Amino acid sequence: MTEIIKQTLRDSKKARWIALVILSFTMFAGYMFTEVVSPLKPILERAYGWDSADFGILTSSYGMFNVFFFMLLIVGILLDKFGIRFSTITSVLIMIIGGSIKYYAFRGGFSVTETVNVFGLWEIKEQVFYASLGYALFGVGVEYAGITVSKAVVKWFKGKEMALAMGMQVAIARLGSAVPLFFGAYLANSFGVPLWILSIVVMLIIGLVAFFYYNVMDKKLDKQLDEDIVEGDTEDEFKFSDLGVIIGNRGFWLIALLCVLFYSAVFPFYKYGPDLMVNKFGVSEDWAGFLPGLVPFGTMLLTPIFGGIYDKKGRGADIMILGAILLIIVHLIFYVPFITSVYAAFFNVIILGIAFSLVPSAMWPSVPKIIPEKQLGSAYATIFWIQNVGLWGIPLLVGIVLNSTNPTISPDKKIIQSSFKKAYVEVVEGSKLMNAKTFDGKNYTEADLKFFANNSASDLVQTVVAKYPQDSVITTNADELKAKSYEYFLRILNANLNDIDDADLAQYSDDKENMAFVNFNAESVDNAAVFVSEKKLKLNYDYQTTWSIFVLLTFVALIVAFLLKMEDKRKAYGLQLPNIEE
Q: Is residue 181 packed enough to be buried (19+ CB in 10 Å), middle (13-18) or exposed (0-12)?
A: buried
Q: Which strand (E) or helix (H) includes residue 93?
A: helix 84-104
The helix or strand, by DSSP H or E, that contains position 19, with its residue range, turns out to be helix 13-34
Element (H, E) at 540: none
Distance in angstroms (rounded) separating the CA atoms of residues 356 and 576: 19
Give the separation between CA 226 and CA 2, rounded to whole angstroms.
16
Nearest alpha carbon to residue 205 among 129, 289, 78, 103? 103
For residues 370 and 379, give the distance between their C-alpha atoms in angstroms, rounded to a whole number: 10
pLDDT at 514: 40
Q: Which of 167, 157, 226 is nearest to 5 (CA)?
A: 226
What would the CATH number be for the domain defined by 10-226+245-406+542-571? 1.20.1250.20
Residues in the chain: 582
Question: Would you state the pLDDT for residue 230?
Answer: 45
Q: For residue 184, give the nearest of 286, 49, 64, 80 by alpha carbon.
A: 286
Please give the DSSP secondary-structure letter assigned to residue 581. Answer: -
- pLDDT one-digit tens code per residue, 206-261: 999 999 999 999 998 888 876 544 444 444 555 666 667 778 889 999 999 999 99
- pLDDT on residue 232: 44
Distance CA(182)–CA(201), nearest Å, equals 18
Q: How far apart are CA 306 and CA 353, in angstroms?
A: 12
How many CA atoms within 13 Å lie on the side-chain side of 358?
A: 21
Among 183, 187, 201, 80, CA closest to 135? 201
**What residue ranges of the chain are covered by domains with CATH 1.20.1250.20?**
10-226+245-406+542-571
554, 327 contact by CB (below 8 A): yes
Rounded to the nearest 10 degrees, what angle do helices 126-157 and 13-34 cross at?
A: 170
CA distance 373 to 379: 9
Going from the C-alpha of 563 to that of each of 320, 390, 553, the distances in angstroms are 11, 20, 16
Could you give the CA distance from residue 390 to residue 550 in angstroms, rounded to a whole number? Answer: 12
pLDDT computed for residue 58 by the predictor: 92
pLDDT (0 to 100) of residue 103: 96
- Give the model confidence (pLDDT) of 400-435 as tens digits: 899 888 888 888 888 888 888 888 888 877 666 666
Q: What are the distances in angstroms from CA 44 to CA 48, 63, 185, 290? A: 5, 21, 10, 18
Determine the Cα angle at 117 with ends 114 and 123, to 5°: 70
pTM for this predicted structure: 0.71
> 331 - beta bridge partners?
none
First to last CA, the chain: 22
Q: How far apart are CA 413 and CA 540, in angstroms?
A: 9
Amino acid at the residue 406: N
CA distances 579 to 246, 339, 557, Å, are 21, 41, 24
Q: What angle do CA 35, 36, 37 make, to 5 degrees?
A: 95
Q: For residue 561, give the 3-state DSSP assignment.
A: helix
- How many Å separate Cα 533 from the centre of its chain? 32
CA atoms within 13 A on the CB side of 275: 28
Q: What is the Cα–Cα distance from 187 to 555, expressed in whole angstroms?
A: 37
Three-class SS string for 326-342?
Answer: HHHHHHHHHHCCCCCCH
For residues 179 and 107, the answer to whether their CB atoms sit within 8 Å is: no
The residues, ordered by sequence, that sit 6+ positions from 471 with a Cβ below 8 Å of its Cβ are none
Write out residues in the chain with pLDDT < 70, as ranges. 1-6, 226-243, 430-445, 447-448, 468-476, 499-521, 536, 581-582
Which one-letter amino acid corresponds to residue 144? Y
What DSSP assignment string belongs to 171-197? HHHHHHHHHHHHHHHHHHHHH-HHHHH
| HSE (side-chain half, CA atoms, 13 Å) at 317 | 21
Q: Which long-range contacts (CB under 8 A, 24 or more apart) does 496-499 make?
A: 496/520, 496/523, 496/524, 496/527, 497/427, 497/428, 497/431, 497/433
